[in-house]
Amino acid sequence: MTDPIVRFQDVHKSFGDVNVLKGINLDIKPAEKVAIIGPSGSGKTTIIRMLMTLEEPSSGDIIVDGKNLWKMEKNGHMVKANEKHLREVRGDIGMVFQHFNLFPHMTILENCMTAPIHVKKESKEEVRDRSIQMLERVGLGEKLDNYPSQLSGGQKQRVAMARALVMRPKIMLFDEVTSALDPELVGEVLEVIRDLAKHEDMAMVLVTHEMDFALDIADKVLFLDEGVIAEQGTASEVIEHSENERLQGFLRRFRG
């Protein structure tokens, strides 16, 4: 049994008086593809935002590759992690956002190159080759010198994926990456994710409303409901054999 690359231990999160997550326990193995489904407001996005260090858990531990993400040891005590510690641990994690968040003042090639060069201090030539390769892989080899404002939503999202991949993360997070797209552009983005899921050995966590797609590519499906993981297992376990009524209701609404 391999050690998990990500482990959530009794993680709670509240925003003000609202308890969004009420005790999340979760293991993600290296290379595992995990889909998180569930109704809006169930806290799906919060889970991966905490993993990306964009949101701090109210309590509990998140362990990434053996290291506690939000806490560090100081004089024999566990204290709140400082920025240095966070930077060390989150280097293994990449994220693709719902609204792309490309850097508008850079070409798409520069978007991909900037972090490996300035954050990981890699050589410019090497990063350049790798970025071009990655952009070709997502089908944007012709657009290297374009600015994000010149691309369609689907193209922007593919650049965002290339940008995250060039950093070679061990864990990739996808936060409703097709939700902001016009319906006809969803397919091209899902194709890229499918390709990654098949050929890359990094762990992937997808928060998504593309139910059939998620069930198709995921090794493990989590159904999040009212702040807890109400159901988890392989796609067929969750869908065909679950007796959770809320899950059945949720799936029915999606599949019509």
Residues lying near other proteins in the complex (CB under 8 A): 52-54, 83, 87, 90-91, 93-95, 97, 99-106, 114-115, 118-119, 147, 149-150, 163-164, 167
* 77/84 with CB nearer other proteins: 84
- Write down the least CB distance from residue 93 to other proteins, Å: 8
* 78/119 with CB nearer other proteins: 119
Residue pair 81/211 in contact (Cβ under 8 Å)? The answer is no
Distances (CA, A) of 189 to 39, 43, 56, 192: 22, 24, 29, 5
**Angstrom distance (rounded) from CA 112 to CA 205:** 21
Among left, alpha and beta (phi > 0; psi -120 to 50; other), residue 59 is beta
Count of alpha carbons within 13 angstroms of residue 123, beta-carbon side = 3
Reduce the DSSP state of residue 107 to 3 states and report it: coil
Residue 194 has which token pair? 């499918």
* 31/54 with CB nearer other proteins: 54
The one-letter amino acid at 200: E
- Write down the least CB distance from residue 138 to other proteins, Å: 17
- Write down the least CB distance from residue 95 to other proteins, Å: 4
Reduce the DSSP state of residue 171 to 3 states and report it: strand
- Write down the least CB distance from residue 56 to other proteins, Å: 12
* 59/150 with CB nearer other proteins: 150
- Write down the least CB distance from residue 119 to other proteins, Å: 5
* 119/253 with CB nearer other proteins: 119
- Write down the least CB distance from residue 148 to other proteins, Å: 9
Residue 225 has which token pair? 């409901």
* 185/230 with CB nearer other proteins: 185
- Write down the least CB distance from residue 180 to other proteins, Å: 11
Residue 9 has which token pair? 């231990």
* 80/87 with CB nearer other proteins: 87
- What are the respective helix, strand and coil percentages of the chain, to the nearest 5? 40, 25, 35
- β-strands 71-74, 77-80 pairing: antiparallel
